């Protein structure tokens, strides 16, 4: 199914989880999306396949980074008039604490969206939003 069709269907039903499942990497790590009004929360459920440190256990940093990247891309894609996957120009992640083996949540804030470039801030947390596990800044090419 084409991305245009998926996005149109998601906008009609206000259920963007179909869009997330259309992205192979997002589907592999188990991402999902909940849209309530203008709020969009991405979820990375606790999954044994995503563990990087079995001693703690903790989520692999690459999985957490991929979750952040996909969240930013999908969030911008939801806002675009012309559906076209944004390309990552720059992604800077600050890992603030270990992402333990539990559900993780991400919220994106668009700081600026021009015709060609979007700047997105991402916050990832597990227990409390006030205690982030990671923060990130992404610059995405829109066309």
Give the pLDDT score at 119: 98
For 51-99, the DSSP string reads: EEETTTTEE-HHHHHHHHHHHHHHHHHHH-SS----EEEEEEEEE-S--
Give the pLDDT score at 14: 85
| Cβ atoms 79, 72 nearer than 8 A | no
The rounded distance, in Å, linking the Cα atoms of 119 and 113 is 6
The rounded distance, in Å, linking the Cα atoms of 77 and 73 is 6
Give the pLDDT score at 8: 87
**How many domains are there within the chain?**
1
**Residue range(s) defining the domain that contains residue 65:** 3-141
Within 10 Å of residue 86's Cβ, how many Cβ atoms? 21
User: Which pTM does this prediction carry?
Assistant: 0.93
Give the pLDDT score at 67: 97
Give the pLDDT score at 59: 94
Give the pLDDT score at 43: 97
Give the pLDDT score at 74: 95
CATH number of the domain residue 59 falls in: 3.10.129.10
| Cβ atoms 130, 95 nearer than 8 A | no
Rg of the chain over Cα atoms, rounded to whole angstroms, equals 15
List the pLDDT tens digit at each of the 143 positions of the chain.
Answer: 788 888 888 888 888 998 999 999 999 999 999 988 888 999 999 999 999 998 889 999 999 999 999 999 999 999 988 778 899 999 999 999 999 999 999 999 999 999 999 999 999 999 999 999 999 999 999 98
């Amino acid at each position: 199914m084409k991305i245009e069709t998926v996005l149109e269907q998601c906008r009609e039903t206000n259920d963007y989880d179909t869009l997330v499942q259309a992205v192979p990497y997002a589907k592999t790590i188990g991402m999902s999306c909940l849209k309530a009004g203008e709020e969009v929360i991405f979820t990375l459920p606790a999954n044994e396949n995503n563990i990087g440190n079995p001693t703690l256990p903790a989520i692999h940093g690459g999985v957490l980074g991929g979750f952040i990247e996909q969240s930013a891309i999908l969030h911008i894609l939801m806002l675009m008039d012309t559906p076209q996957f944004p390309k990552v120009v720059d992604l800077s992640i600050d890992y603030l604490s270990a992402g333990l083996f539990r559900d993780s949540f991400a919220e994106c804030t668009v700081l600026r969206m021009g015709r060609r470039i979007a700047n997105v801030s991402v916050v990832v947390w597990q227990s409390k939003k006030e205690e982030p596990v990671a923060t990130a800044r992404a610059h995405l090419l829109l066309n």
